[in-house]
Structure 1
Amino acid sequence: MPAFNAGLTIKESIDSVLRQSYSNWELIIINDASTDNTASVIDEYLNNENRIVLINLKKNGGLPNARNEGIKNAKGKYITFLDSDDLWFPDKLATQIEFHEKHPDINISHSKYELFDKSGIVKRPLKNIVEFNYKRQGDLRPTIYSVNTVGVLTVMVNRELLNKSGYFDTNLWTMEDQDLWIRIAELGENFGYINKSLAKYRLNVNGITHNLNKYKKAYKVLIKKYENEISRLNATNMAWAYYYRYFGIAHFKKGNYKISVLYLKKSIKLDRYFLNKLLTTVSFFKALFKHYF
């Protein structure tokens, strides 16, 4: 559990681990040089819970680096990830341990998860329809190059596979999890998928619109990094179609209407799936309707 200035949320995240029905776990919290009360909140647990380990970093190194520090210090066969503002359902670990025991040939699994904010669970039915053809189990190529269908807060991965594939790329400030899944997929590993919500992802009030240009740059860096593999799998158009759709909607939410229309037109032109073209158009007009009415 990486934590940077997470004083307002980390208690709830830790408690969701303590409530696990599966008890043989170790929670490694990496305090990434927080300047708020994160450390004092964690200290409240250390005297009463010997399954919690605290690592204090003197210098803030970012999310990928913090996760890597946790992996290096972990003792378990399986590694899981939980950010300090997200939550697990009580049966999260038990469900995945049972899954891996039944499928010993699968070294990485993930599941559905819920979105939530201060008002509660956020439902996005249109998003689920748009993503109808995205692969979540088995060989995730070529989808995983352009769309991250694996929620890091739901992942359970064999430590040996992490050692083989490498850890999170510390040169990436975002999309570092998708980058890792790509490398795992490139090894020929099949992803296991549990069609049940095992975690809750907290939505950021600012979202992607707050750092739009940085996210766009990060996405392009990822496509560039794997452009040969994407080309080999004839997935270049799919990668750019998702880019234009995703950031077209983001630009619209930010009020950049002209560029959003341009991006959405490009997305529709590049996507080879007719239903995706239709739903991209529906997504845009739904956002338009919500904005003006």
Structure 2
Amino acid sequence: MKLSVLINNYNYQHYVSDAIDSVLQQSFPVDEIIVVDDKSTDKSAKILKEKFSDHEKVKLVLKNKNEGQLSSFNAGFIASCGEIICFLDADDLYKENYIAEVVKFYQEHPECDFLFCSAEVFGNEERIASCYNNTRDLGYSRIATLYKKAWVGHRTSTVSMRRHVLEKFLPLPQQEDWRIRADDCLVFGASIVGARKFYLAKPLVRYRAHGNNNHYGQKQKRTPEYLDKYKQAVDHLLGFLAEKMSYPSNLYEQAHIEFRTIPKPNEQEFNIYESIIDKSELLVLNKLSRFLSIYIHFISRGGFLSLVRIKLLWLRNKIQQFALRLYRLPQSKTNTTA
């Protein structure tokens, strides 16, 4: 199983060497490390050439134009040849057993197309960033992504996937839309092209919080204009990939089937698929049969109490809405009379 690590770098002269060294010092050796420098304005390129230009496992891709993170993913993937592709941001680190754990997981789970793990945040803050409490088979998520923008993944440096998955959507042309946070392209793209995803509940990656992260910790910069532009970029990406895959407009009809690929769905996942079915254009009887399908699967996988809680919350909301309408009715009549 040949394995490639893609490192994307822009102006991380103080960190990029450590990132590369963290890969070279793995307990299980990788086959190649592709380092893409996105025309950094600091000394990154000089450092990379001096330290790694002659290294047999390190391939440098020094771009002559700054085009953003997605462009680096595109260039790195084109330059790679691994069957498994791992991603690493230049300011993060792999723990020494990361690659060994990833290889073992793919070997033991041949059905796994896309794997992400927990991360140990260090630097300006210290914590374990986990997505779930336990290792999970998350099934398929193309319908949940297309209709509800479900984001089934984690930070760039925690992500790996099989080459055949990436071949279905990289390179992507929307480079200007994704100069930063292009890990969304990896997460959304893998889901839409039909990757079966798994989560490994081990903090095998060290995520550096240093105040200059391009996206993490930059909430103050997320203006309404930025959020609107981001929404447009996501819509454009999802539409492009759906067309590329030639998906029909009524893919929602298979939502109940996709839901059942999740062995032990949680409440959030149940709510997503219930909403897709509820808001679909299916006839009432077809909706009911699909509701029944996801209810049975959810309950049979230990979700009975969760389902009861969901329905009680739904009933409470309905009662509150009804009470609010009753409260407003006399006021409305009074205003009309006046």
**TM-score (structure 2 length as normaliser):** 0.60
CA contact (8 A) 2:8 2:38 kept: yes
Aligned length: 237
**Aligned AA for 1:39?**
A
- C-alpha distance in structure 2 between counterparts of 1:180 and 1:192, whole Å: 14
Counterpart for residue 84 of structure 2:
78
- C-alpha distance in structure 1 between counterparts of 2:103 and 2:69, whole Å: 26
| Pairing 1:114-133 to 2, within 5 Å after superposition | 114-118=120-124, 121-122=126-127
2:104 to 98, 102, 108: 98
Confirm or deny that 1:224 pairs with 2:235: yes
2:221 to 211, 218, 225: 211
| Pairing 1:22-61 to 2, within 5 Å after superposition | 22-46=28-52, 49-61=55-67
CA contact (8 A) 1:108 1:191 kept: yes
- C-alpha distance in structure 1 between counterparts of 2:227 and 2:311, whole Å: 22
Relative to structure 1, is the Cα distance of residues 136 and 33 closer, same or farther in structure 2, using a 3 angstrom cutoff? farther
> What runs of 5+ residues in structure 1 fail to find an aligned partner?
240-270, 275-293
CA contact (8 A) 1:27 1:51 kept: yes
Counterpart for residue 189 of structure 1:
195
Counterpart for residue 285 of structure 2:
none
TM-superposed CA distance for 1:160, in Å, is: 1.6
TM-superposed CA distance for 1:237, in Å, is: 11
Counterpart for residue 87 of structure 1:
93
Cα deviation 1:93-135 (Å, max 9, x = unaligned): 111111111122222211111222246x2357xx86xx779x8
- Matched residue of 2:167: which SS? helix
- Return 63-72 or 167-176, whichever deviates more: 167-176
Relative to structure 1, is the Cα distance of residues 236 and 109 closer, same or farther in structure 2, using a 3 angstrom cutoff? closer
TM-superposed CA distance for 1:78, in Å, is: 1.3
CA contact (8 A) 1:110 1:192 kept: yes
- C-alpha distance in structure 1 between counterparts of 2:77 and 2:44, whole Å: 21
Relative to structure 1, is the Cα distance of residues 109 and 148 closer, same or farther in structure 2, using a 3 angstrom cutoff? closer
Larger radius of gyration between Structure 1 and Structure 2: 2
Confirm or deny that 1:138 pairs with 2:148: no
Confirm or deny that 1:69 pairs with 2:75: yes
- Matched residue of 2:41: which SS? coil
2:163 to 144, 156, 159: 159
Aligned-residue CA RMSD (Å): 3.5
> What runs of 5+ residues in structure 2 fail to find an aligned partner?
1-6, 243-248, 256-270, 277-309, 314-338
**TM-score (structure 1 length as normaliser):** 0.68
Tell me the percent identity: 25
CA contact (8 A) 1:79 1:156 kept: yes
- C-alpha distance in structure 2 between counterparts of 1:136 and 1:203, whole Å: 29
TM-superposed CA distance for 1:222, in Å, is: 4.8
**Aligned AA for 1:2?**
N
**Aligned AA for 1:28?**
I
Counterpart for residue 278 of structure 1:
none
Counterpart for residue 248 of structure 1:
none
TM-superposed CA distance for 1:49, in Å, is: 2.5
- C-alpha distance in structure 1 between counterparts of 2:79 and 2:140, whole Å: 29
